[in-house]
Amino acid sequence: MCGILAVLGCSDDSQAKRVRVLELSRRLKHRGPDWSGIYQHGDCYLSHQRLAIVDPASGDQPLFNEDKKIVVT
């Protein structure tokens, strides 16, 4: 299984907040030890821990639509 973490609406977009999100994301590593990523835009953070079962070569996340206005993990 993979693990995801989303932090939304936190007005504090400081480096300390990013460090905290990374710390929380690492706690999900047992859910997906093969790859991890983080995306930040303003007060929104998305983090993903990936277990590569299907399509390990091209399953990187987050995923974006064509104009990069929609982000999913």
Name the active-site residue from 1, 2, 7, 66.
2
Cα angle: 58, vertex 56, 4; to 5 degrees: 85
Residue type, 30: H
CA contacts within 13 A on the Cβ side of 40: 15
- Is 10 catalytic? The answer is no
**In 10 A of CB 47, how many CB atoms?**
23
Catalytic residue positions? 2
